[in-house]
Homo-oligomer: A and B are copies of this chain.
Amino acid sequence: MERRRFLKGLGAVALGSTVVSRATKAYSAEKRFVWRMVTSWPPNFPILQTGAERLARRVGELSGGRLTIQVYAGKELVPPLGVFDAVSQGTVECGHSASYYWAGKSPAFQWFTSIPFGLNAQGMNTWLYQGNGLKLWQELYAQFNIVPRPAGNTGVQMGGWFNREINSLEDFKGLKMRMPGLGGKVLKKVGGTVVLLPAGEIYTSLERGVIDATEWVGPAHDLRMGFQKVAKYYYGPGWHEPGSVLEFIVNKKAHDALPDDLKAVLDVACAELNVQMLTEFEHENAKGLQTLMKEHKVKIKHFPPEVLKGLRKVAKETIEEEASKDKMAQKIHRDFSAFQEKMRPWANISEREYYNFII
């Protein structure tokens, strides 16, 4: 109060004069931390690995070098899918990955990345920051000594590359498609055959007819995989992943050891990466799509509305089944679904109208 009154009294005093000499209060610069971050991405993998590296640099800048994070891509220190366990066990202090990779531990993990016909990037952020999303995520991860933060989003993904036209739900029957996760479970229910393949084998499998279709990420990454050379149609939207959240995870003991200002540094750096990565995906996907359409003459196809309607119905059943497997999954599913319902009328008169009138 006193300082406030004092400042008011300053009136239009010249800038710079408010620089006060060094405070005597002990400052958290006393301690320096050197951390290691492991990721699930290949070295230099665009947007994701480069995003994790940007996060580390930003933390270094913001902390004035008091918290240094060394980043290791997938396989450099631990396997790409060993990130969670490495952070949980304290082998490393932190990691960058996606929660649905850990669905083997519990179906509950899937809701913190993306759910078929679930929330898009804006919706996920709203659930995480304003709803119960982050609280539930923290509750789940606390069981594994991990503190999670949203740290990036892919935006709406693409539906995939097909060598068969999809005009009705019937066309999924007998379709051999590379599609992991919940999307794959939905595909199976409509008569498709799910084929799981490592990234390096997808192209050849599609070329040789071992599979009829594959999903990957979005135009920016798909273009680099060269799928346009071995598939006839490129379908959208990615109903199975409408806005996948990336995670920054910290070992709880390491997190607890930080002073408050460095905890805040991690939080804001993650929030910045969250919005920056989404815009990078948006921009690179828009450019990638143009290249695919103009240079490679790729046929962009929209799943017919009836197909999406059918898939949505089956997805709902699939998700209910997943949720029923585990008490925590059930709790998260209920909160997520109620939140999506609550947001729907507003989305209908705002963003939905926006996208329809501008296109």
Contact = CB atoms under 8 A, between A and B. Distances in A.
Interface of A: 3-4, 7-8, 12, 14-16, 18-23, 25, 27-36, 58, 61-65, 70, 77, 90-91, 93, 117, 120-123, 125-126, 129-131, 155-156, 158, 218-219, 236-239, 242-243, 251, 253-254, 257, 260-261, 264-265, 267-269, 271-272, 274-276, 278-280, 282-283, 285-287, 289-290, 293, 300, 302, 305, 308-309, 312, 340, 342-359
Contacts of A343: 282-283, 286
A48 to B, nearest CB: 16
B14 A264 contact: no
Contacts of A18: 33-35, 93
Contact of A346 (B12, B32, B279, B286): B286
8 contacts: A8-B77, A19-B257, A62-B268, A122-B279, A131-B283, A268-B271, A290-B345, A308-B357
A242 B271 CA distance: 23
4 closest A-B pairs by beta carbon, nearest first, are: A352-B355, A156-B350, A236-B349, A237-B353
Contacts of A312: 357
A132 to B, nearest CB: 12
Q: For A35, A242, A267, A354, which residue has the most chain B Cβ atoms within 10 angstroms?
A: A354
Nearest to A260: B61
Contact of A359 (B35, B77, B352): B352
Nearest to A156: B350
Contacts of A276: 129, 271
**What is the oligomeric copy number?**
2
A321 to B, nearest CB: 20
A88 B19 CA distance: 19
A354 B29 CA distance: 47
A41 B347 CA distance: 26
Contacts of A346: 219, 282, 285-286, 289
B22 A357 contact: no
A264 B347 contact: no
A305 B289 CA distance: 28
Given A130-B283, A308-B357, A359-B344, A22 B15 contact: no
Contact of A349 (B93, B302, B356): B302
A311 B280 CA distance: 31
A16 B257 contact: yes
Contact of A125 (B7, B27, B275): B275
A265 to B, nearest CB: 6
Contacts of A16: 253-254, 257
